[in-house]
Amino acid sequence: MVEFHITNAKRFVLLVGLVVLRGGVPTAGGRNNASQVIQLRDACGVVGVCLTQDSTRDVFPVLYYALYALQHRGQESAGISIFRERMITKKGMGLVSDVFTNAFTSVLEGKIGIGHVRYSTTGESDIINCQPFVVSSEGREIAIAHNGNLVNVIELKRELQKEGAVFISTSDTEVIAQLLAREMRRRDELEAISFLMRVLRGSYSLVILINDTLYAIRDPYGVKPLCIGRLEDGYVVASESAVIDTLEGKLMRDVKPGEVIIIRDGEMESQRLYKLNTKAHCVFEYIYFARPDSIIDGKLVYDVRMKIGETLWDEHPIDADIVSPVPDSGITFAIGFSRRSGIEYLEGLIKNRYVGRTFIMPAQRERELAVRLKLNTISSNIEGKNVVLVDDSIVRGTTSRRIVDMVRACNPKSIHLRIGSPPIKSPCYLGIDMPTREELVASSRTTDEIARVVGVDSLGYLSIDGLVDAIGMGEDDLCLGCLTGVYPMEIPGEKCKAIQARLSNYII
b/e map 105-140, b = 16+ CB within 10 Å: eeebebbbbbbbbbbbbbbeeeeebbbbbbbbbeeb
Q: Are strands 322-325 and 386-391 parallel, antiparallel or unpaired?
A: parallel
Residues 232 and 360 grouped into a single domain: no
Residues 240 and 346 grouped into a single domain: no
**pLDDT tens by residue, 227-236:** 999 999 999 9
Q: How many domains does the chain have?
A: 2
In terms of residue numbers, what domain contains 410? 299-469
Q: What is the rounded end-to-end Cα distance, in angstroms, of the chain?
A: 44
Q: Which run of H or of E encompasses 4? A: strand 2-7
Query: What's the pLDDT score for residue 432?
Result: 78
Query: What's the pLDDT score for residue 242?
Result: 98
Residues 217 and 94 grouped into a single domain: yes
**pLDDT tens by residue, 442-496:** 999 999 999 999 999 999 999 999 999 999 999 999 999 999 999 999 888 899 9
Residue 218 lies in a domain: yes
Residues 327 and 378 grouped into a single domain: yes
Residues 313 and 275 grouped into a single domain: no
What is the model's pTM? 0.86
Q: Are strands 281-282 and 386-391 parallel, antiparallel or unpaired?
A: unpaired
| CATH code assigned at 146 | 3.60.20.10
SS3 content of the chain, % helix, strand, coil (to 5): 30, 30, 40
Calpha distance 277→355 (Å, rounded): 44
Segments of the chain with pLDDT less than 70: 1-43, 102-107, 120-126, 355-369, 433, 498-508
Query: What's the pLDDT score for residue 503?
Result: 41
**pLDDT tens by residue, 369-409:** 677 788 999 999 999 999 999 999 999 999 999 999 999 99
Q: Which residues lie across from 378 on neighbouring strands? A: none
Calpha distance 205→243 (Å, rounded): 15
Other Cβ atoms closer than 10 A to 319: 10
Residues 308 and 263 grouped into a single domain: no
Residues 8 and 70 grouped into a single domain: yes
Residues 125 and 201 grouped into a single domain: yes
Query: What's the pLDDT score for residue 277?
Result: 87
Respond yes or no: is residue 496 known to be catalytic. no
Calpha distance 296→294 (Å, rounded): 6
